[in-house]
Chain A
Amino acid sequence: MAVLRSALDTRSEEYRRNRAAQLEAIAALDAELEKVVAGGGERYVARHRERGKLPVRERLELLLDPDSPFLELSALAAWGTGFTVGASLLTGIGVVSGVECMVIAHDPTVRGGAMNPYSLRKSLRALEIARTNRLPVINLVESGGADLPTQAELFVPAGRIFHELTELSSLGIPTVALVFGNSTAGGAYVPGMCDHAVLVDKGAKVFLGGPPLVKMATGEDADDESLGGAEMHSRVSGLSDHFAVDEPDAIRIGREIVARFNWRKLGPAPSYPQAAPLHDPEEILGLLPPESKVPFDPREVLARVVDGSEFDEYKALYGTSLVTGWASVHGYPVGVLANHRGVLFSEEAKKASEFIQLANQTDTPLLFLQNTTGYMVGADYEQGGIIKDGAKMINAVTNSTVPHLTINMASSFGAGNYGMSGRAFDPRLIFAWPSAKLAVMGAAQLAGVLSIVGRASARSQGKAYDEEADAARTAAIEAQIEAESHAFHITARLYDDGVVDPRDTRTVLGMSLSAVHNQTIEGRRGFGVFRM
């Protein structure tokens, strides 16, 4: 196997400058993540504790196997919106009783754990990841229900949660609900739809209608306990399979339930030596230029991510703007497609199409490392069939059935986002680095295009063009697109599964690969018609 050599000069001014810029971006990320961890803030956390309840992250820590890792997903959901960052929900992949599970947990300190449109998307994405990767789901339930002012956006799609839960069950993917508090009205169907339900004494409240609603509807006087307490559901209705004396007891029972899943991963175990890279992952920060215009060699990244820095390149001399080749991460084989000089030409598109087919032939998961400005434009390229070649690549990406993992390292613009297995192409997991940008095109280009179009329109109508207004409009549009291209803006809308520290890439990929191997790994042998 070929070992990557690094040409990175860690003493150069460029390295120091790059590193400083990346550390700044990471600091901004950490500042946002701190808000996520703080949940509803000190006052609400204190009030929650006074009620004898554990904050959501303490519930999670008790649930997970000691010293096991946890990959939190969509942490910055709802960032920059009117809702609390994190969207009152915590989701992620962790190990419970030796089984990788999808944990979906309400944060009751954020507006009582109420669900807003972002929580819904976050929840549905977690359930989708669980379904596609065959991960058992554990719900840590305590939510006041829907954020009623946004019900118009919520009510119809929220039904999908129950659809997903029961579909998971039908696929043989176990679902568990540990109910700590409110789980009322629609929320009552979460324990209702799960394979296993555990209710906490004096905490769980699981009913379709609470005392006031019942009083209004039928005139009946009933209290919380008789309508939906753990004791009642464990002894009378049978909705609860296990009666937990307190929160830790519920988590203990949950762990025991998972321990009895008799869980076997369907994918193969890691098959390569799990040697650490020869180069320090810390150095990734120094090789990433802060300006997306400046290209960098993705092999320098791979040398700091893949097992033993070993990378066997495919078609190294052909279509050199895209680096393709074979490697392994934490012992799992991967085929890598990494943008080098941004632009995808016909050669790169055809090389990618072939490579994706090869990976499918050998059931090898694919790793897409994005840093692309899109497919090449211009008369020569259009005439050379760039559309057909781009279509081949998108065809191959779309119909490929091996797991795709995607990381937006720096930029993901135009159809390059599609060809490099962007969100719309169902990568099993997709992450971005903190300084990465994503949009249909770069902000300056987009603003410039609009300016040219405006100018042409004015000319065709014979009107004078207001240069001053154009400059102002161009600047405003550029600023808007720049903001909307920002990694936080993208992840806030669930267009990826999280923004990760570049230095953690190897761990994030290792956990992702291990998670996807819960499902069968099987490539597609026949593809759609390739337009030649």
Chain B
Amino acid sequence: MIEKLLVANRGEIATRVQRTAHRLGIGTVAVFSDADSDAAFVRDADEAVRLPGTAPADTYLRGDLVIAAALATGADAVHPGYGFLSENAGFARDCAAAGLTFVGPAPEAIAAMGSKVEAKALMEAAGVPVLPGVTVAPDTDLAAAGERLGFPLLVKAAYGGGGRGMRVVGDPADLAGAVESARREATGAFGDGSVFLERYLVDPRHVEVQILGDGHGTVVHLFERECSIQRRHQKIVEECPSPAVSEALRAELGAAAVAAGKAIGYTGAGTVEFVLTGQEFYFLEVNTRLQVEHPVTELVTGLDLVEQQLRIAEGAPLGPDVRDATITGHAIEARLYAEEVTAEGYLPATGTLHRFDVPGDVRVDSGVGTGSVVSPHYDPMLAKVIAHAPTRDGAARTLARALSGAALHGVTTNRDLLVGILRAPEFLAGDTDTGFLVRHDPVALGAGTLAAGGHRHAAAAALAAQAQHRRAARVLGGMPSGWRNVGGAFQRIAYRLGDRELPVAYRFRRDGLDLRVDDEPLDLTPVSVTPDVVVTEIDGVRRTHRVHRAAGMSYVDGPDGSVALQELPRFADPHAITRAGSLLAPMPGSVVRVLAEVGHGVTAGQPLVVLEAMKMEHTIVAPADGVLGELRVGSGDQVDSGQLLAVVEEPGS
């Protein structure tokens, strides 16, 4: 019997594991880094232990500190969640040595599957179909290996996951560089820089099978999940069942997964990942942990996978509910990330989540809430939103509506992209594969939700601000808004939406409201206006927009989309004028390299500073020929979005 469970993780998964533990009557202990000291999962835990520092290597990857925390609080089991220590065989072993139950498979199974190279060999031996590949050793002839496998090929971290340390290489000339950078990323993220090469199937489907094994030799599968919608090899939309899997194929996949599990004597929850093209599937890897996307399986089977993990860890055999599980309906999960979807890629976003509210009949597994601070230190996933409906179309529709109606204020998210995907005809037809977001421009896909260019939203924001001004007025608050007895001056307020400016001018007249957005008249009748809710009628259509103002932003959510409008100050701050040639950090991250020196000449396009944020390196280049006049950062510095990095001056200035 587990009495007290330490969750060696953070964010939504820590919260999710605690939820089941508490339901089962199990006490919980959280561990937290300095950056997470105010996080929800820390508040929700019965007890919490601080891990000093913020970097994962100092905190959530420190198995010794985690075990010490478990011992200090009297916990008898450790749930590793996903990522961090979840697939670290050494940690599993250390737990056992410390007398703690590790909620997961045996260290041997983790070790066997931890190296993707060894795992492949094992699976091949067990009769599971695999893709050809080569392990990179110091003496490996990369060129020859590449030629043998053919291009494009994939460079993968042997101990990686979640897309980290992974590179697709199309050109043989790029192979060495890709191996080097994958190695560096893997070392940073997983503490092991081993990589291997593998044949790369262009745009297959990603289909995985959930398995559960108990300590009594039983391994069952809980059907497949399709996770083909990926950006940068990271899943963002997952579902169960897969629209591409027939009953017969499901049986084949399930059998292969169970065979894989049995081959390594698997206990606990695991996932066998495959790539699927047509009816052919190949083994990819086994994830010896709970997957991020496990909720879709839970919703269609009615099982609680964390509960199953805990039962298995307690030594119980799999029950009939697991052995006879069936699929009911269809579940789709969307991963809500704090990130900006741009033509240049997906840039992690940070900030304070002034409001987080997802409406509708959906499951929300979230590590954040209103008031949470999204820091640059960890994975930028905010929450998973999962819909369950009798049909796939129904689930997609429910999920899209919940997401589009969500209040997500203060942090840029990929919400619009997710909604765009869920409403895309190709997605709805089930034509999903890993090339989906290559074929479809993510920016265009995510641009469809905002109607009328945001004019209605800007109008609603202005009217709400107006109501707030009247309400907060120290004197004359009861007078008609903006009243004039001579002339009819317009009240003016301007917003920035993306790279556009949306000035709003309005005046309340005896015969109604006279309102213009971006110098275009908008025939709008205010039905009711408060600082929070603006009901308007435009061309006979009544709509309600919710307006939330925080930190200079107006967040407007309506049936015609959501926007974050930055209110432009009425008066310029004389101190805030940025010098020409100033280079600002495009996102939060850390400086990995500085490539130029102050006083030296630079040419347009010359790399000056390299930033790393999450999984990407961003190079800041000189905007024009000139001289590096100022350099404000050094290697290793943590920078915030918009922070001044360097100034390029005109020669001789």
Contact = CB atoms under 8 A, between A and B. Distances in A.
Contacts of B485: 70-72, 75, 498, 500-501, 504, 507-508
Given A501-B485, A504-B485, A69 B491 contact: no
B466 interface: yes
A524 interface: no
Given A69-B482, A70-B484, A95 B473 contact: yes
A136 to B, nearest CB: 12
B263 interface: no
Contact of A330 (B470, B478, B486, B510): B478
Contacts of A496: none
Interface in A262-301: 265, 270, 274
Interface stretch (A9-17, A60-68, A112-120, A466-474): A60-68
Contacts of A503: 510
A100 B493 contact: no
Given A37-B487, A57-B489, A251-B571, A67 B478 contact: no
A69 B570 contact: no
Contacts of B475: 95, 98-100, 265, 514
A57 B482 CA distance: 14
Given A66-B466, A66-B570, A67-B481, A514 B476 contact: yes
B318 to A, nearest CB: 66
B231 to A, nearest CB: 42
A249 interface: yes
A446 interface: no
B23 interface: no
Which residue of B475, B571, B572 has the most chain A CB atoms within 10 A of its CB atom?
Answer: B475
B144 interface: no
A158 interface: no
A66 B469 contact: yes
Interface in B441-492: 465-466, 469-470, 473-476, 478-487, 489-492
A69 B572 contact: no
Nearest to B468: A67
A61 B489 contact: yes
A352 interface: no
Interface in A491-518: 498, 500-501, 503-504, 507-508, 510-511, 514
Contact of A65 (B473, B510, B572): B473
A422 to B, nearest CB: 21
B498 interface: no
Contacts of A69: 476, 479-484
A57 B487 contact: yes
A100 B473 CA distance: 11
A274 B466 contact: no
A61 B489 CA distance: 8
A213 to B, nearest CB: 34
A510 B476 contact: yes
B470 to A, nearest CB: 6
B604 to A, nearest CB: 32
A36 interface: yes
Contacts of B469: 65-68
Interface size class on chain A is 35 or more
A100 B571 contact: no
Given A68-B476, A95-B475, A511-B476, A37 B486 contact: yes
Contact of B571 (A34, A249, A501, A511): A249
Contact of A66 (B476, B493, B510, B574): B493
Nearest to B569: A252
Contacts of A98: 473-475
A248 interface: yes
B481 A72 contact: no
B478 A72 contact: no
A33 interface: yes
Contacts of B466: 66-67
A476 interface: no
Contacts of B481: 67, 69
Contacts of A514: 475-476
B571 A75 contact: no
A252 B574 CA distance: 10
A34 B488 CA distance: 10
Contacts of B487: 33-34, 36-37, 57
A274 B473 CA distance: 15
A273 B241 CA distance: 63
A252 B473 contact: no
A483 interface: no
B479 to A, nearest CB: 4
A151 to B, nearest CB: 29
A507 B510 CA distance: 13
Interface string A100-114: 100000000000000
A355 B510 CA distance: 36
Contact of A507 (B473, B479, B489): B479
Given A65-B469, A67-B481, A33 B486 contact: yes
Contact of B574 (A33, A249, A508): A249
Contacts of B476: 68-69, 95, 100, 510-511, 514
Interface string B122-155: 0000000000000000000000000000000000
A72 B486 contact: yes
Interface of A: 33-34, 36-37, 57, 60-62, 65-72, 75, 92, 95, 98-100, 245, 248-249, 251-252, 265, 270, 274, 330-331, 498, 500-501, 503-504, 507-508, 510-511, 514
24 contacts: A36-B486, A60-B489, A61-B489, A66-B469, A66-B491, A66-B570, A67-B481, A67-B482, A68-B469, A69-B476, A71-B485, A72-B484, A72-B485, A72-B486, A95-B473, A99-B474, A249-B571, A330-B479, A498-B485, A501-B485, A507-B483, A508-B485, A511-B479, A514-B476
Interface of B: 465-466, 469-470, 473-476, 478-487, 489-493, 510, 570-572, 574
Given A62-B570, A67-B481, A330-B478, 7 more contacts: A61-B492, A69-B480, A99-B475, A100-B476, A249-B574, A252-B571, A514-B475
Top-6 shortest CB links A-B: A69-B483, A252-B571, A98-B474, A37-B487, A72-B486, A69-B479
